[in-house]
A and B are shown apart, each in its own frame.
Chain A
Amino acid sequence: VSAAGTGQATGQAGDMPARDPAGAAVLERRYRRLLRCYPPSHREFHREEMLGVLLAAARPGQRTPGLRETVNLAACGLAIRVRRIPGWLAADAGQDALAVVSLITPAVVLILLALGREAMDATAAARDPFWGWPPFPPSAGHFVVVMTAWLAVVLLGLAGARRTAAAIASISLTIAWLAVLTVISLLLGQSAFPPGGLIQFPAAGFNVVLASLAACSLALSPGPRRGLAVVGWRRACLMIAGLSAGFGFPAIVQLVHPAAPVGDLAFRLLGVLAIALAVAVTRVRGPVGWRVAGLVAAGLLPSLAVLQGVGRAALQRSNFLGTYFVWTFSGWTLLVILLVAVLVWPVAIVSRLGRVSRASRAR
């Protein structure tokens, strides 16, 4: 809301700034671009009338949207998108999408764990003292336990024991969280973070986001069997392979070339592209559409954090909680991972509550 004075010169209702048709066309084009902040369904219904209102309210000769107007349109568009997420998930198609996610993400986590373990062996032999840090690498026994747990999640899910699978996934997720917290405590005390660190470490990194998605989709959806009914075996395998390849990109490259420059920005950008392509594989025909991709894309967000470092080669230090926190690519990635992995839950819970209350109203 703007509590502003009436100083702004405005035309009468419906009176467009016709004195400068070329300028009006430029302004219209810029407004159209801004309206892309709104969700497609909202745009389809409101775009033309909103353009009419925006142009009617424009000053004569105005060619650029005002700053406050730009911020207002962008903020409202994003707010509407966010507001629609619970409804989007609570709808039947959203529940089906969540079921597909509960089918594919545990398998992807399992594959990424195995890939990460292999890559770690290869890397540790080739270079990098990082793996010699106190809690790293986790012992072979730790890996067997974690991988057995996720294998159990996959199999129990397929067998229809959704709740048990969800419980085991949640426990494994908690362990992964502890690993992340260990990394944070180490970061707080270190002057530099080893290149490529988090992307390689299998218990942290993307796996926490994917494990979070797996655990919460198992807990709050009809489960993997429904997911299988929606997409079928072949499609499910394709999705799992695509996502494993995308999210496991650095590990796969390191398996082939142990000395690959995983810390390089160009390499990381390639990784982002690989994940984006992999997420696109999860598109499903019919009402589910892009919903699975939308959910899995949450795993892409942390990797986008590397973009903030474009053009910044040197490490930067910043005072954080009274101690030095290193704002490297990995530091930012870690923060985004934490945010995304935590935010996955309330969104799914709110959508579930919305669904339950709607069902009770319908009764």
Chain B
Amino acid sequence: MYVYDMKKRSMQEPTFLILTALAAGPQHGYGIITDAERISGGVTRLQTGTLYMALDRLRSARLVEPDREEVADGRLRRYYRLTDQGATLLAAETDRRRASAAVAAQRLRTRLAGGTA
């Protein structure tokens, strides 16, 4: 089966949002979409196709896995959870983003101190 080596490339925004949405506990598809929108401050609303393409890839890379299924309003709802591997990858990505943000903040401070703003 197709294996996706995520460590070699930077994580795309939808992937980051999906993994973050699942970090605190399992969620179903629609829950992930609304949560991802909230996490991104309303900037990114995942399309259903995008979400399930990402879930398909994340599942085959063993970063997320189905948690349980339930039927609501006659519709199947499948919950997904983060695997340990997924949590490790999300933690690494969080550190990377935090470090980048810290550098950006530092440079902006330098710019302001230099009076070039």
Q: B-contacting residues of A (Cβ < 8 Å)?
A: 1-6, 8, 10, 13-14, 16, 42, 46, 48-57, 68-69, 72-77, 79-80, 83-84, 86-87, 354, 358
B45, A83: Cβ atoms closer than 8 Å? no
Interface size on B, residues (CB 8 A): 34
Asked if B48 and A73 sit within 8 Å, CB to CB, the answer is yes
**Which of A5, A56, A87 gathers the greatest number of chain B CB atoms within 10 Å?**
A56
> Smallest CB–CB gap between A326 and chain B, Å?
39
Question: Shortest CB–CB separation between residue A23 and chain B, in angstroms?
Answer: 16
Q: At the interface, yes or no: B47 with Cβ under 8 Å from chain A?
A: yes
Once the chains bind, are B30 and A1 in contact (CB under 8 Å)? no
Known: A5-B42, A354-B2. A77 touches B49 (CB 8 A): yes
Q: Please give, as numbers and ranges, the residues of chain A lying within 8 Å of B47 by CB-CB distance.
A: 1-2, 68-69, 72-73, 76
Measured CB to CB, the residues of B under 8 A from A are 1-3, 12-14, 28-31, 33-34, 37, 42-53, 55-57, 72-73, 75-78
CA distance A51 to B55 in the complex (A): 15
B45, A49: Cβ atoms closer than 8 Å: no
Say yes or no: B49 contacts A13, CB within 8 Å: no
The winner among B31, B33, B45, B48 for most chain A CB atoms within 10 A is: B48
Q: How far is the CA of A84 from the CA of B14 in the complex (A)?
A: 20
Could you say which residues of chain A place their CB within 8 Å of the CB of B55? Answer: 46
- 10 closest A-B pairs by CB: A76-B49, A52-B75, A48-B76, A72-B49, A72-B47, A53-B29, A76-B53, A87-B2, A73-B49, A6-B42
A72 to B45, CA, bound (A): 13
| B2:A4 contact, CB within 8 angstroms | no
Distance in angstroms between the alpha carbons of A46 and B50 in the assembled complex: 13
Cross-chain contact B49 with A52 (CB below 8 angstroms): no
Whether the pair B50, A50 counts as a contact (CB closer than 8 A) is no
Known contacts: A1-B14, A4-B45, A72-B48. The answer to whether A57 contacts B75 by CB under 8 A is no
Determine the chain B residues whose CB is within 8 A of the CB of A16 once the complex forms. Answer: 73, 75
Total A-B residue contacts, Cβ distance less than 8 Å:
98
B44 touches A50 (CB 8 A): no
Instruction: List, in ascending order, chain B residues with CB within 8 A of A42's CB.
Output: 52, 56
Query: Across the interface, which residues of A come within 8 angstroms of B49, CB to CB?
Result: 69, 72-77
Cβ–Cβ < 8 Å partners of B45 in chain A: 2, 4, 6, 8
A-B contact pairs, 21 of them (CB 8 A): A1-B14, A1-B50, A2-B47, A10-B34, A13-B28, A13-B34, A14-B30, A16-B73, A42-B52, A49-B75, A49-B77, A52-B72, A52-B75, A53-B29, A53-B30, A54-B48, A69-B48, A73-B47, A79-B53, A84-B2, A87-B1
CB <8 Å contact, A14 and B72: yes
List of B residues within 8 angstroms of A86 by Cβ: 2
Closest to A38 in B: B52
Return chain B residues, CB-CB under 8 Å to A80. Answer: 53, 56
Bound-state Cα–Cα, A42 to B49, Å: 12
Please measure, in the bound complex, the distance between the C-alpha atom of A297 and the C-alpha atom of B59, giving whole angstroms: 30
Chain B proximity of A274: nearest CB distance (Å) = 35
Residues of A within 8 A of B52 (CB): 42, 46, 50, 76
Bound-state Cα–Cα, A72 to B34, Å = 18
Check A55 against B2 for contact (C-beta < 8 Å): no
Interface pair A14/B73, CB less than 8 Å apart:
yes
Q: State the CA gap A87–B2 with chains docked (Å).
A: 5
Alpha-carbon gap, A87 to B56, bound state (A):
14
With the chains together, A80 CA to B44 CA distance in Å? 22
B28 to chain A, nearest CB (A): 7
Q: Whose C-beta in chain B lies nearest to the C-beta of A85?
A: B2
Give Cα distance in the complex from A46 to B47, angstroms.
Answer: 15
Complex Cα spacing A68 to B31, Å: 21
Q: Is the CB of B30 within 8 A of A6?
A: no
Q: Knowing A1-B13, A42-B56 touch, does A50 contact B48 (C-beta < 8 A)?
A: yes
Report the minimum CB–CB distance from A112 to chain B (whole Å).
35
Contact of A52 among B12, B30, B44 (CB under 8 A): B30
Q: Give the CA-CA distance A83 to B3 in the complex, in Å.
A: 11
A76-B53, A83-B2, A87-B2 as given contacts; A1 in contact with B46, CB under 8 Å:
yes
